[in-house]
Every structure is written in structure tokens, then in C-alpha cells.
């Protein structure tokens, strides 16, 4: 069976991904990538869509992804980032969605593209900003660990949401929260120490789920 094709960028490093699944890893999908995808064999092929471009170029449109999802012998799976968004839009046309981010969008708990949007260094796929969905996740984990209060969690998430997505980072969120709510300065310093050592990513977790799904499928 041919290798799965995976569009992967800053959500998960190629090194980590390759340890899970031997695949044809490609840069974040942009407009035209799926239309140019040459698959002429009658053999079943798997395409994993995790990352797509946002600011750097135009992303694949829903209609472009639709044309790939409905092709014979293609199973298209989306997760974690733009792939999860497109999977929600095109599930009824055969695209499969995997993971928590997909479920959150599908159930209408979150509904804005900026929840998964980030900026990154092209070619190296190094993050320059934090995804809003991961910011929510890390503040939730910090609250569960009793690093911050529920009120502080809500305030910090609200502050983060009001920052334009290319500029979202924990240092600025902490700074703005300390300026607006000086009474929780020490609490936020505790969060600063916590996030430095314990930063997690819901998007990365979902990307891993997609890779593990494809590993089973392609065996």
C-alpha cells in the first residue's frame, strides 16, 4: 500500500510524527495543492489534512477540499487545525474528522477560524504565535491543577481572545492580565512558571490521533 500523504506544519514536529507513522509529509496545504494532487492508481489512498496556511497564502477552499474528498479510492481525514474545520464543513460529503478540536467545532462550542490559526516560520514550521484553542486548553489545565482560579482563567482567556491571532503569546497575555487585574499578580507569576514547564497542545494531541488512525488503516 502506498504511503499516506499528510499535510503537516507547526501543529506537530515532523520528527515526532515520523516516529508514529511512516508517511509522505508535506507542508501546510495552500490553495491548489489538493487540485494538483496526482493520484491515478485504483489503490485505496489515505490523505491526512492537519495544517493549512492562513496569512502566508490562501488556504484550500471548501470546494477544493470537496473535490478531493469525493474522489474515488480516496479517504480524506482532517484533524487539529484547518483540517478539523474543513472536516466539519465536508463530513456529509465523506471527509472524516478526528479529535477534540473537530468535535468542538462540530458541536458549535467554538465557531471561529482564529481558534486554530497561528503564524509560523515557513519552511521550518516554527510557531510564532499560540492557537486560541491551545491557550484555552492550557489555562483550563492550570485551573485544574489549582495554579490559577476559575475567575483568572476566564479573564485570561477573554484577554487572549481580544488579541489579534498573529500576536497571541503567553507573555503578553500574562502582562495584560497583570495590568488589568493587579490583585492576581502572584497567581499569574505562578502560571508563568507553570506554562514554561508544562505547555500542552490540544491540536498536537489531535494530530497524533489522526496519525495513529492512519497507522492502523495503512497496515
Q: Is the pLDDT of residue 56 over 70?
A: no
Quick check: pTM over 0.85?
A: yes
Q: What is the rounded distance in angstroms from the CA atom of residue 191 to the CA atom of residue 185?
A: 10
- On whether both 151 and 87 belong to a single domain, the answer is no
The mean pLDDT value for 49-68 works out to 88
Which is more confidently placed, 39 or 109? Answer: 109
Report, as an integer, the average pLDDT of 83-90. Answer: 96
178 and 209 fall within a common domain: no
Is there a single domain that holds both residue 186 and residue 166? yes
58 has a pLDDT exceeding 90: no
Q: Tell which residue, 203, 213, 210, 3, has the closest CA to residue 104.
A: 203
Sign of the torsion angle spanned by Cα atoms 8, 10, 15, 21:
negative
Beta strands in 57-204 (DSSP E): 74-79, 96-98, 120-121, 126-127
- Are 24 and 57 in a shared domain? yes
Calculate ∠ Cα 21-25-130, nearest 5°: 95
Check whether residue 100 and residue 187 sit in a common domain: no
Q: Averaged over 189-218, what is the pLDDT? A: 96
Number of domains in the chain: 2
Co-location of 98 and 188 in the same domain:
no
Same-domain status, 15 and 76: yes
pLDDT band of 219, cuts 50, 70, 90? confident
C-alpha cell at 212: 495513529
The fraction of the chain above a pLDDT of 90, given in percent, is 82
Residue 51 sits in the same domain as residue 74: yes
Do 194 and 209 belong together in one domain?
Answer: no
Strand partners of residue 121: 126
Identify whether residues 100 and 207 lie together within a single domain: yes
Average pLDDT of the chain is 93
One domain, residues 141 and 111: no
Average pLDDT on 180-199 reads 96
Domain that holds residue 191: 132-198
Amino acid at each position: 500500500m502506498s504511503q499516506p500523504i499528510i499535510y503537516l506544519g507547526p501543529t506537530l514536529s515532523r520528527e515526532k510524527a515520523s516516529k508514529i507513522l511512516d508517511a509522505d509529509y508535506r507542508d501546510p496545504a495552500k490553495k491548489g495543492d489538493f487540485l494538483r494532487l496526482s493520484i491515478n492508481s485504483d489503490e485505496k489512498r489515505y490523505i491526512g489534512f492537519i495544517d493549512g496556511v492562513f496569512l502566508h497564502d490562501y488556504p484550500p477552499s471548501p470546494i477544493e477540499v470537496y473535490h478531493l474528498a469525493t474522489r474515488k479510492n480516496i479517504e480524506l481525514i482532517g484533524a487539529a487545525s484547518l483540517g478539523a474545520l474543513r472536516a466539519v464543513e465536508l463530513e456529509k460529503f465523506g471527509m472524516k474528522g478526528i479529535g477534540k478540536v473537530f468535535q468542538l467545532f462540530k458541536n458549535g462550542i467554538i465557531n471561529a477560524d482564529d481558534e486554530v490559526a497561528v503564524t509560523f516560520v515557513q519552511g521550518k514550521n516554527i510557531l510564532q504565535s499560540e492557537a486560541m484553542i491551545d491557550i484555552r486548553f492550557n489555562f483550563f489545565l492550570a485551573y485544574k491543577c489549582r495554579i490559577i482560579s476559575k475567575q483568572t482563567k476566564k479573564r485570561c482567556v477573554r484577554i487572549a481572545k481580544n488579541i489579534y491571532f498573529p500576536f497571541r503569546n503567553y507573555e503578553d497575555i500574562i502582562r495584560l492580565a497583570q495590568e488589568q487585574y493587579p490583585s492576581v499578580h502572584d497567581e499569574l507569576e505562578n502560571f508563568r512558571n507553570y506554562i514554561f514547564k508544562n505547555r500542552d497542545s490540544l491540536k498536537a494531541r489531535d494530530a497524533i490521533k489522526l496519525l495513529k488512525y492512519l497507522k492502523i488503516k495503512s497496515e
